[in-house]
A and B are shown apart, each in its own frame.
Chain A
Amino acid sequence: MEFAEHLIRWFHVLSGVMWIGLLWYLNFVQVPTMPKIPDELKPAIGKHIAPAVLFWFRWSAAATVFFGLILAWMEGSIGAALSIGLNDGSTTSALLGIAMWFGLIMAFNVWFVIWPNQKIALGLIDVSDDALKPKSARKAMLFSRTNTLLSIPMLYGMIAAQNPPF
């Protein structure tokens, strides 16, 4: 069981690095650089790079949550964490739990807000109203920024729960 936990933790970290790496690529590189790209080159991002990023982004988010929940269940920490330490009065459970809830909110945003709106913004699905595209792009961007914000305490909580500083 211990070795299985060890493997699942590795899968959790691998998929998590891919997820947050792509989230930060979108927020720190792609979105701020788009206005500087010449118009004739923009379709390369919208039609080729962004759809590939979003594919790995949403599936790595799903894999991170999947392996994370299995890991917490195998460790026996899932109940204490999901109740943010209120049932065992532990700082470590509280840190892990708050981080887990942030991660769950972020994964929800990826699948149910960012991806559906990006599909419209990038023209991957047909919409009758063209005015919907900029609205969807803005909504996807703001939720992506929300995830960037949450990723900072989320990563701190995950690391601090493994290496308690208090």
Chain B
Amino acid sequence: MKNPLESLHKTVVLGVVMTVIMVVVALAIGS
């Protein structure tokens, strides 16, 4: 399987997904 980081578009999508996960984790820590 090709590494998703070889695609710039997939890299950006993964970055946005990671941002959502980060917010969920931060909200859980703060609750």
Give chain A's interface residues, CB within 8 Å of chain B. 27-28, 32, 84-86, 89-95, 98-99, 142, 145-146, 148-153, 156-157, 160, 166
Contact = CB atoms under 8 A, between A and B. Distances in A.
Contacts of B6: 142, 145
B11 A148 contact: yes
Contact of A156 (B19, B29, B31): B19
A28 B29 CA distance: 34
B5 A153 contact: no
Contacts of A85: 26, 29-30
Given A142-B3, A145-B6, A146-B5, A153 B15 contact: yes
Interface of A is mostly: helix
A166 B27 contact: yes
Contacts of B19: 152-153, 156
Contacts of A95: 22-23, 26
A124 to B, nearest CB: 24
Nearest to B5: A145
B16 to A, nearest CB: 6
B25 to A, nearest CB: 7
B12 A91 contact: no
Given A27-B8, A95-B22, A98-B25, A148 B15 contact: yes
